[in-house]
C-alpha cells in the first residue's frame, strides 16, 4: 500500500526538479524518473506483468515512493504480490526495494516488506543490474509465499486449534480481544466459498478479512505476524 499526500504519474516524474545533496565525491544520486523507468522496464523485460503502479514524491522533491502490483505472480485471486520502492537524494536513505503481499510504503518514511534491494547512491552503481538482481529476489520471495500458502491450504485444523490461535493472536498483540468475535464469525461462516475448507489458510483469511477494517499501519502490525504465529503455535 502506498501512502503519500499526492500521487503522480510515472511519465510526469521527469518534470520533478532534481533536488539532491552535494555529498562526497562518491555520492551520485539517481533521478526519480530514471529509477522508476528502470524498475518498470526491467520488470517487463523479465516477462512480469504489471497490474498497477503508483508513484509519489516528498514535498521537497528529494524522496521518491512507489508501488508496483504484479499480475499473475501468485496463483490466488485473493492475494496481490507487490513491490515497494523508496529512495532519497538528500542522503537520508538508499534506494530500497521491498516485496511481498503485505507491503507498506509511506511518505512518513515507513517502509515494510521483504527487503530485496538496498543500495546507496554511489559512483559505480550499475542501476539496471542492481534492479534486475532485486527483481530476481522478488520472484524467489513470491515462490516462498506460494509454498507457504500451499502448506497452509493442506494443513487441516479443528475449531479447538482455531480458537487457540485466535487467543494467541490477542496475547501477542496482533489482534485485539474485542475483534476475535469477528474473526471467529468469519471462520465459522466464511464470506467466500474458497475459505470453507477447515484449513490454516481459511483461518488466516478470517484474520485478514477483519484486518481490512484497520488503518494501514494497524493492518501492517496485525497481518505481519500471522504466518509466524501459525508456524510457532
| Residues 6+ away with beta carbon under 8 Å from 54 | 2, 7, 66, 67
The three grid cell numbers given for residue 193, joined into one nine-digit string: 466459498
pLDDT for position 35: 96
pLDDT for position 86: 93
pLDDT for position 212: 81
Q: How is 177-211 classified by DSSP, letter by letter? A: GGGHHHHHHHHHS-SSGGG-S-BHHHHHHHHHHHH
For residues 121 and 32, the answer to whether their CB atoms sit within 8 Å is no
pLDDT for position 109: 65
Whole-model pTM: value is 0.77
pLDDT for position 77: 64
Q: Average pLDDT of each block of 10 consecutive residues along the chain (233 residues)? A: 86 94 84 96 92 94 93 73 92 90 74 84 90 90 82 93 94 93 94 90 91 78 82 81
163-169: long-range contacts (C-beta < 8 A, 24 or more apart)?
164/233, 165/203, 165/229, 165/230, 165/233, 168/229, 168/233, 169/207, 169/226, 169/229
pLDDT for position 130: 93
Question: Pairing mode, if any, of strands 2-3 and 95-106?
Answer: parallel
Which residue, 137, 65, 132, 141, is CA-closest to 100?
141
pLDDT for position 141: 80
pLDDT for position 111: 73
The three grid cell numbers given for residue 102, joined into one nine-digit string: 503485505
Amino acid at each position: 500500500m502506498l501512502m503519500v499526500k499526492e500521487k503522480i504519474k510515472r511519465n510526469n516524474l521527469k518534470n520533478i526538479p532534481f533536488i539532491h545533496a552535494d555529498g562526497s565525491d562518491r555520492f551520485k544520486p539517481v533521478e526519480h524518473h530514471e529509477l522508476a523507468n528502470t524498475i518498470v522496464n526491467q520488470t517487463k523485460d523479465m516477462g512480469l506483468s504489471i497490474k498497477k503502479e503508483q508513484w509519489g514524491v516528498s514535498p521537497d522533491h528529494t524522496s521518491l515512493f512507489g508501488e508496483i502490483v504484479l499480475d499473475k505472480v501468485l496463483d490466488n485471486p485473493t492475494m496481490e504480490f507487490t513491490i515497494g520502492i523508496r529512495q532519497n537524494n538528500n542522503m537520508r536513505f538508499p534506494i530500497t526495494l521491498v516485496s511481498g503481499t503485505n507491503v507498506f510504503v509511506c511518505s512518513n518514511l515507513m517502509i515494510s516488506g521483504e527487503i530485496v534491494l538496498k543500495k546507496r547512491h554511489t559512483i559505480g552503481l550499475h542501476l539496471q543490474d542492481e534492479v534486475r538482481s532485486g527483481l530476481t529476489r522478488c520472484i524467489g520471495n513470491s515462490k516462498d509465499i506460494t509454498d507457504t500458502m500451499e502448506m497452509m491450504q493442506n494443513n487441516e485444523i479443528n475449531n479447538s486449534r482455531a480458537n487457540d490461535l485466535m487467543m494467541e493472536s490477542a496475547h501477542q498483540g496482533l489482534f485485539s480481544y474485542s475483534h476475535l468475535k469477528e474473526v471467529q464469525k468469519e471462520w465459522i461462516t466464511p464470506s467466500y466459498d474458497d475459505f470453507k475448507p477447515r484449513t490454516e489458510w481459511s483461518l488466516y483469511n478470517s484474520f485478514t478479512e477483519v484486518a481490512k477494517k484497520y488503518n494501514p499501519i494497524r493492518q501492517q502490525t496485525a497481518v505481519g505476524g500471522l504466518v509466524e504465529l501459525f508456524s510457532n503455535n
